[in-house]
Chain A
């Protein structure tokens, strides 16, 4: 499958995460300066130079567990705190939103337009902060460099790789149900009407040609749908009209974020645990995560002055209830890395931490950062 899938997966999921957090921060009336700091901190971490370098290398997709762990860390790259239930719900929403976008993309190449929609919104979030803006622009350039030259077949392979990642996920999302883009069984509505993709013609015509190339017959047939001609193509440049609405922010303060947990376990009978998670101590994955963690300014949780908790539910009780009643097949096993037990990994980590200390990303004392890192990695 495609080894160019991870950047698109990460950037689009990250974008959805920011939309949701932005909505919750406003809904919970978090003071604007704190809210802005949260968004800036997360975006800075997302587009950290070293992280992106690693991200854009050709590689296989991470396992679901590994990717979830990366987003766990990302969500906590600021003074904001999320309880387990809220983090689970956040991740459900992010993944179902991107699954929807991937499925509904008229052409595989349109996934790049969806990514640009997310990037455009992220750029808007940080438009007042030039330092981060620079990182975002750099990411645009990397996306353009890597993806605009790909053929349609290669994009379809990326899409197929993403669809395998999202296979069998049917969590119901309130906003999708209300907009009637998702059925009550969790499956998305695929309309047989509307504009055809750019480059496709409305199905209905059969043309036949003689040996000399002359058209000798035209026939029409009924296509069983209600299609119209394609819209103009979206822009693949740093600035431009993307045309598609997929990947734009569908949340606002008045449209709350909810998921329905009941009814989804019907599908669990059909889940055999096919995606055997690769060894969580696989060096590549550990390095990537460690680098991400190593680059963070670790804020001690529970710091009364700065820290605050964001709730993805309407009340604390709802959040507690959600944690208890989450169906087994939807538990995300977050990786707890036993770095202290694995000597080799330990050495790697120390080396990486050393790199970051030198590059000037200092926390008050680098030794305490090391302790925090290891303290974070609980034994199983």
Chain B
């Protein structure tokens, strides 16, 4: 179903972090941008579609005005808003937002240092663009920061802090509904496996809370109102987001799931885990029951590699890319 393509070399190997691959498809310039985090550096590479040009860039997590201090990056992800694309980088110290080519930092938000030194340490993790102009970022305390992003310039502001979780946020996802009205705009997941479903707006409101089973949910996606969640036990669960009804449960992987991605136009689902396997599934809405179904399509094994990032390169799922711990390349697959 898929065949392996030429890999893209990156300057450093990828670190073992959830959802450690960012992909941005820039059709007008016929190129795709990839990001992979290595400790305190984001490796960016832009690959032209003809496979001839690759340009590299590295971003460090140094916050401005502090010369010596660096911190470890938890995640880097592209946020595609209708008016602009931004690259958001979250670390132990705070949140940085860059223009999507990494050329300029447009915003910096410092995390508050906690009063007591909890064993976890403070960090930000979980990034999602929401609706027209919001970017949401999760924090290790369980809070979610909502940033309001103007259509251009650096006048980004912290609009809201929403509380729905008591444990560290792991991942967040939203859904672009196009013309349709979406009930659920955002789903967030935490280390206890709990999911929160939100409606965006002037004030974000909590639509539903889906309790977990004390197993971390490391990756979550939203597709046609279905929350697709991947857990540390290797399970994938599909919930109807607003009602919390469990529609499917898949014993998908033998180890911790690190990354999920959905190709919205086709309903293809990608799952990747520490067990070296990437699996491709098909989500579909059953016309009779109006509920989601899932079928297995394909496996790819990246030998001797714990996979930490897997994403489709386009909305149909025609191609996908994979990163692994200690691997200095981005492996690509295309439908054959």
Binding site for B on A (CB under 8 A): 1-4, 58, 60, 103, 106-108, 146, 150-154, 156-157, 159-160, 163-164, 167-168, 170, 183, 187-190, 192, 196-197, 199-211, 213, 219, 221-225, 227, 270-272, 274-276, 279
**Is the Cβ of B249 less than 8 Å from the Cβ of A224?**
no
**Is the Cβ of B38 less than 8 Å from the Cβ of A3?**
no
**Is the Cβ of A151 less than 8 Å from the Cβ of B254?**
no
In the A-B complex, list the 6 residue pairs whose CB atoms are closest, starting with the nearest.
A153-B191, A221-B296, A153-B216, A224-B299, A163-B16, A201-B251
B117 at interface, CB cutoff 8 A: yes
**Is the Cβ of B249 less than 8 Å from the Cβ of A189?**
no
**Is the Cβ of B233 less than 8 Å from the Cβ of A199?**
yes
Least Cβ distance of B8 to chain A in Å?
A: 14
Give 1 or 0 for each of B193-214: 1 = CB within 8 Å of chain A CB: 0000000000000000000001
Q: 10 other contacts beyond A3-B119, A58-B118, A192-B254, with CB at 8 A cut-off?
A: A2-B121, A103-B306, A163-B15, A167-B325, A192-B276, A201-B233, A202-B254, A203-B252, A270-B12, A272-B41
Least Cβ distance of B282 to chain A in Å?
A: 11
B255 at interface, CB cutoff 8 A: yes
**Is the Cβ of B117 less than 8 Å from the Cβ of A206?**
no
**Is the Cβ of A168 less than 8 Å from the Cβ of B326?**
yes
Contacts A164-B39, A209-B247: A154 and B120 contacting too (C-beta < 8 A)? yes
**Is the Cβ of B304 less than 8 Å from the Cβ of A200?**
no
- Enumerate 7 A-B pairs (CB-CB under 8 Å) in ascending A order: A1-B121, A106-B255, A151-B192, A192-B254, A224-B301, A225-B275, A270-B11
Q: Which residue of B lies closest to A220 (CB)?
A: B296
B96 at interface, CB cutoff 8 A: no
In the assembled complex, which residues on chain B have CB atoms less than 8 Å from the CB atom of A170? 326
Least Cβ distance of A354 to chain B in Å?
A: 28
Q: Which residue of A lies closest to B327 (CB)?
A: A187
B17 at interface, CB cutoff 8 A: yes
Q: Which residue of A lies closest to B325 (CB)?
A: A163
Q: Which residue of B lies closest to A102 (CB)?
A: B16
**Is the Cβ of B123 less than 8 Å from the Cβ of A4?**
no
Across the interface, A160 reaches (CB within 8 A) one of B17, B215, B250, B252, namely B17
Q: Which residue of B lies closest to A222 (CB)?
A: B299
In the assembled complex, which residues on chain A have CB atoms less than 8 Å from the CB atom of B190? 153
Across the interface, A151 reaches (CB within 8 A) one of B38, B191, B303, namely B191
Binding site for A on B (CB under 8 A): 11-13, 15-17, 38-41, 58, 68, 70, 72, 92, 117-121, 123, 167-168, 170, 190-192, 214-216, 218, 232-235, 245-256, 275-277, 289, 291, 293-296, 299, 301, 303-306, 325-326, 328
Contacts A209-B247, A211-B289, A279-B68: A274 and B216 contacting too (C-beta < 8 A)? no
Least Cβ distance of A219 to chain B in Å?
A: 7
In the assembled complex, which residues on chain B have CB atoms less than 8 Å from the CB atom of A272? 11-12, 41, 58
Docked Cα-Cα span, A154 to B232, in Å, equals: 12
Q: Is the interface of A mostly helix, strand, loop or mixed?
A: loop
Docked Cα-Cα span, A279 to B67, in Å, equals: 12
Q: Which residue of B lies closest to A99 (CB)?
A: B326
In the assembled complex, which residues on chain A have CB atoms less than 8 Å from the CB atom of B247? 208-209
Contacts A152-B215, A203-B251, A219-B295: A1 and B13 contacting too (C-beta < 8 A)? no
Docked Cα-Cα span, A4 to B120, in Å, equals: 7
In the assembled complex, which residues on chain B have CB atoms less than 8 Å from the CB atom of A4? 119-120
Q: Which residue of A lies closest to B289 (CB)?
A: A210
Docked Cα-Cα span, A279 to B248, in Å, equals: 52
**Is the Cβ of B192 less than 8 Å from the Cβ of A225?**
no
Across the interface, B16 reaches (CB within 8 A) one of A164, A192, A206, namely A164
Q: Which residue of A lies closest to B70 (CB)?
A: A276
Least Cβ distance of B225 to chain A in Å?
A: 13
Least Cβ distance of A279 to chain B in Å?
A: 7
**Is the Cβ of A208 less than 8 Å from the Cβ of B15?**
no
Across the interface, B120 reaches (CB within 8 A) one of A2, A164, A196, A208, namely A2
In the assembled complex, which residues on chain B have CB atoms less than 8 Å from the CB atom of A196? 234, 254-255
Q: Which residue of B lies closest to A4 (CB)?
A: B119
In the assembled complex, which residues on chain B have CB atoms less than 8 Å from the CB atom of A151? 167, 191-192, 214, 216
Least Cβ distance of A40 to chain B in Å?
A: 32
Docked Cα-Cα span, A1 to B275, in Å, equals: 23
Contacts A153-B168, A153-B191, A208-B247: A167 and B301 contacting too (C-beta < 8 A)? no
Contacts A167-B13, A206-B250: A188 and B255 contacting too (C-beta < 8 A)? no
Least Cβ distance of B243 to chain A in Å?
A: 8
Docked Cα-Cα span, A205 to B40, in Å, equals: 39
In the assembled complex, which residues on chain A have CB atoms less than 8 Å from the CB atom of B191? 151-154
Q: Which residue of A lies closest to B16 (CB)?
A: A163
**Is the Cβ of B16 less than 8 Å from the Cβ of A274?**
no
Docked Cα-Cα span, A225 to B218, in Å, equals: 23
Docked Cα-Cα span, A188 to B121, in Å, equals: 30
